[in-house]
Structure 1
């Protein structure tokens, strides 16, 4: 900073400080009580456009800064008496630079002292990180969609509804899945499962399970045998953590408004059957978790659905939803809810279960939620 009138009368400490600031490689500026530039070191002059700023009001020289975050931070520092910090891009205020700066404003007796550090490299790293995370998120969303049917099929004499909430971020693809597809003799298969863990390995296993079930169902008729075949193929063709639960059902339409269901469950929450009367039945659990032992032991449960009856499949993200008090949504709440929805459509039932489970935990699911509902028409 060049000498001026009265320079020889300034205290020696102030002169030494001025020399330090003049040689500081980081931009430094002083604003007086009227928001005028009273001092700029050479680094600040280079960034802001020269020593001719001295005496000018910052808001008049840089009108684009009025109402900006910089404006708010400087006011905050002056009004609170505490330092305020922000990330700043001078280009936003009309300056010809692509640099980014970390800026800190300090209240001082003369007004506001402002110092900035070049943060361009750090900002670029952060931008690259954000781009990578966005790319991972997009890949995750595509992969998540690939684990579910793009749409539910049309089953003559029945309607289907489904709901799905995935809570994983970036590459944390969820392991819950459902599927509905046609099998031999005009039958239909419904499957819901939950693979342990998240991420690429869980997604890989989920995809393998879904398509292996489809392949097995085309050559094997009974649910127990389909799950046993699935378990064998998982143990034979996969490695690492491979535990998962599943419930598999075969639907045979036998007359107008009536169907026979054969079902086997492997360590999965039991489906519910809601009758038109509002009565809700728990179906029996019939087997161990899959991917752990060669002989988990399954049995097939057979029952009849009548006109207007519904069958509700779900994953434990519903019943194990937990509120702020640590309470679980639980089976009884689900049982009561399904009973009250006896007259609703399959889609309405699925949506209501999703909404209630999310609402119970203040809209923030802690685990993936999958719901699949089949309802026979009259």
Structure 2
């Protein structure tokens, strides 16, 4: 049936058929135990391809199969073939989307003395489309590293292409450009050169310098992204405001560098708007919730901080209306 697509209807089941079926000892024993007398086999088709077969066996003493049974099996097989094909396509597409999504995020974090780092990503969809949220941390030289987060509008392969382009442009520019706002200008110029209608990107980028263990000097610029938060030692949550427009929209864009000093035990948190747009009981979590949550967990390890925030947005009853990316850097060691 697999080879030629011809249906089979037989009301005699003998040892010769068992031999030709190529069953192993266990399978043959099971068939003999059931006591099959009649059987039918029909192909599972998708368009003009055969992707499998549907086999039905009738026990000894049961009514023999006839043409009506064969017609019914063929109708079931037609529907089953399409359903199985769709399930296979769904699984393959989901796997591809997950692999592509992972490629847009760092495989790991650089080992920076006096710093802990953690990040997470959650998709709001069913896993079929790649989201446009990303974060990144990368070493620039022995004492400096780059920190980036961004959110490309939309989903799918076009959004993924813009995400990859933005992330890698920032990485490449940061090697030779020492000012964050100029790195964003370079990314803006590259995105403007792409023929991508209605595609834009918010982003935030900073260059952190380790002055001594646990002490960071961070220069930071923002391209229309949500302001990062710094959890200070006294529990104060400080938003880091910096002016700047969306990437890929305006040829005369401008961005502003701001400076942030961090002492041991302080936390720098970047996130995309999907985090505060999570809905619980019909209401957005909002900025106030995030600031209160960060203040309450700031003394924990950076991994626990990110995990706690992630658990909050994925617990029962919460609804993700947009993808969520979170990146945290905590200074450790040394003295304040």
TM-score relative to the length of structure 2: 0.77
CA separation of 1:170 and 1:313: change in aligned 2, threshold 3 A: closer
Distance in 1 separating the partners of 2:198 and 2:168: 19
**What's 1:91 paired with?**
56
**What SS does structure 2 have at the residue aligned with 1:354?**
helix
Deviations 1:314-340 (A, max 9, x none): 111111112232x11100000000001
Structural mapping, 1:171-210, within 5 Å? 171-184=128-141, 186-210=143-167
CA separation of 1:93 and 1:250: change in aligned 2, threshold 3 A: farther
Distance in 1 separating the partners of 2:154 and 2:136: 20
Distance in 1 separating the partners of 2:11 and 2:122: 53
Does 2:277 match 1:324? Answer: no
Does 2:313 match 1:357? Answer: yes
Does 2:226 match 1:269? Answer: yes
**What's 2:89 paired with?**
132
Q: CA deviation at 1:164?
A: 1.1
CA separation of 1:116 and 1:291: change in aligned 2, threshold 3 A: same
| Contact 1:102/1:119, CA 8 A, preserved across alignment | no
Distance in 2 separating the partners of 1:247 and 1:92: 64
| Contact 2:173/2:186, CA 8 A, preserved across alignment | yes
**What SS does structure 2 have at the residue aligned with 1:259?**
strand
Structural mapping, 1:246-261, within 5 Å? 246-261=203-218
Deviations 1:253-306 (A, max 9, x none): 112321101001111111100012211111114211111111222101102000
**What's 1:156 paired with?**
113
**What's 1:242 paired with?**
199
Aligned counterpart for 2:168 among listed residues 196, 201, 211: 211
Higher-RCO chain (CA-CA 8 Å, sequence separation at least 6): 2
Q: CA deviation at 1:238?
A: 4.3
Q: Tell me which structure has the larger Cα radius of gyration.
A: 1
CA separation of 1:249 and 1:127: change in aligned 2, threshold 3 A: same
| Contact 1:133/1:170, CA 8 A, preserved across alignment | no
Q: CA deviation at 1:63?
A: 7.7
Aligned counterpart for 1:344 among listed residues 283, 297, 300: 300
Does 2:190 match 1:225? Answer: no
**What SS does structure 1 have at the residue aligned with 2:146?**
strand
Give the CA RMSD over aligned residues.
2.8
**What's 1:334 paired with?**
290
Distance in 2 separating the partners of 1:196 and 1:92: 54
Distance in 1 separating the partners of 2:182 and 2:224: 15
> How many matched pairs?
282
Runs of 4+ in 1 over 4 A off after TM superposition: 46-50, 92-97
**What SS does structure 2 have at the residue aligned with 1:155?**
coil
| Contact 1:188/1:250, CA 8 A, preserved across alignment | yes
**What's 1:375 paired with?**
330
Aligned counterpart for 1:144 among listed residues 101, 105, 112: 101
Distance in 2 separating the partners of 1:93 and 1:160: 63
**What SS does structure 1 have at the residue aligned with 2:193?**
helix
* Gapped regions of structure 1 (runs ≥ 5): 1-45, 51-61, 65-88, 104-114
| Contact 1:168/1:198, CA 8 A, preserved across alignment | no
**What SS does structure 2 have at the residue aligned with 1:202?**
helix
**What's 1:84 paired with?**
none
TM-score relative to the length of structure 1: 0.69
